[in-house]
Amino acid sequence: MNTKQITELAIRRHDEDAEFFQNVYSGTLHSAQSQVFLYGRNMILEELEILLQTVPKGGNILDVGCGTGHLTNWLKEKGYHVCGVEPSEEMYQYAVNNFPGIDFKKSISSSLPFNDESFDLVIALEVLRYLEDEENNATYKEFYRVLKNDARIFVTHVNLFSTDGYFFFYNAISVMHSLSNKPYHFCNFTTPSKQVKMLIDNNYKNITTIGRMAGAVRIFYKFGNFIGNKFGELIKRTSEQRYTKGVLKSMAGHLIVIAQK
């Protein structure tokens, strides 16, 4: 598949998943899949809260791949001027209906409808994972363009070596889809070192990579909410599941990347 086809598949996937995310964020869905998603998302938000301490209230924040708009609104409620960008029509419609007071635009991450140096922070949660390296590079360039000087990006990726074994699960599913001539969405598995190099090549500085969430939590949630919740609570008592160096960072369920213009 070429870059355009991969991007189109990503958009289609989010059209299909829009109702799921709407129900998760509105609190009406309590499946194991939704619970493990929120388990990891809350850890990502912990890191974002730390970074927000460096962004002055009233600052301009761009939420790329904003989905149903719930994160964008969360940022607005914290006192920031926010904009959301979402290419999926279904996600976009949820966002504008959920939060009519927020400026949402339909666009892809590598072509943002904003002037140079417009934002104090650009966020992209679970966005670049659906795009191949060429599009990720273009996206990093575009983020750099719309950032103010010394402003930062906060993005998440899928670790290649995550202990949840998603790399193997994803490839097995992809093979089954290919046999039925139904292309599966692309997933960009990466490593902390690869992201650091990519960002350096795009002129970013002060790059930080953080691993959050023990990948094994996802495995236990596959046995249902009860077992997943029990294991999740147990591991929280023994570890904050935050990895800033060493091999554990590359094995975490979420890879967070922060970089400065």
pLDDT digits (tens, 9 = 90+) for 36-60: 888 889 999 999 999 999 999 999 9
Q: What is the mean pLDDT of the chain?
A: 90
225, burial (CB in 10 Å: exposed 0-12, middle 13-18, buried 19+): middle
* Nearest by Cα to 130 from 181, 180, 88: 88
For residue 212, count other CB atoms closer than 10 A to its CB: 22
pLDDT at 6 over 90: no
Q: Hey, what domains does the chain have and what are their CATH numbers?
A: 3-260 (3.40.50.150)
Are the beta carbons of 139 and 128 closer than 8 angstroms? yes
Q: Which amino acid is at 75?
A: L
pLDDT in tens, 17-37: 999 999 999 988 888 888 888
Average pLDDT, stretch 229-235? Answer: 81
pLDDT at 107 over 80: yes
Average pLDDT, stretch 235-255? Answer: 89
pLDDT of res. 175 = 60
DSSP state for residue 185 in the 8-state scheme: P
pLDDT of res. 150 = 97
Are the beta carbons of 153 and 258 closer than 8 angstroms? yes
Beta-sheet pairing, 205-214 with 147-159? unpaired
The gap from C-alpha 68 to its chain's centroid, in whole angstroms, comes to 13
